Copies of this chain bind each other. A is one copy, B any other.
Amino acid sequence: MNERPKILREDNTAGETVLAEVEEVIQLAVTIKDVAKKANVAASTVSRVIANSNRISHATKIRVREAMEELGYHPNFHARSLANKSTKTIGIIMPSSAKVAFQNPFFPEVIRGISTKAYQKGYGLYLSTGQTEEERFEEVVQMVEEQRVDGIVLLYSRKNGLIMPYLMKKNFPFVLIGRPYDLPDEEVTHVNNDNFKAAKMVTEYLSLLGHRQIAFIGGNMEYVVTIDHMKGYKKALEQAGIEVNDSYIVYHDELEEGGQEAVIELMSLQERPTALVVADDLMAFGVLRMLSDMGVNVPDELSIISFNNVMISELSSPPMTTVDIHIFDLGSTAVECLFDKMLDKHIQPKSVIIPHRLIKRQSCKKCNDKTLHS
Which residue numbers of A lie inside 8 Å of B, CB to CB?
1-2, 5, 23, 26-27, 29, 72, 74-79, 81-82, 84-87, 89, 92, 97, 99-100, 102-103, 105, 107-109, 111-112, 115-116, 118-119, 124-127, 129-131, 135, 141-142, 145-148, 170-171, 256, 282, 285-286, 288-289, 292, 310-312, 314-317, 319, 328
Contact = CB atoms under 8 A, between A and B. Distances in A.
B124 A127 contact: yes
Give how many copies assemble into the complex.
2
Given A115-B129, A124-B127, 19 more contacts: A27-B171, A76-B146, A78-B79, A78-B81, A78-B87, A97-B115, A97-B116, A99-B112, A102-B109, A102-B112, A115-B127, A119-B131, A119-B135, A124-B126, A124-B148, A127-B127, A282-B311, A282-B312, A292-B317
A256 B315 contact: yes
Contacts of A316: 289
A127 to B, nearest CB: 4
A319 B124 CA distance: 40
A146 B75 contact: yes
A84 B78 CA distance: 10
B129 A116 contact: yes
A111 to B, nearest CB: 8
Nearest to A171: B27
A100 B315 CA distance: 13
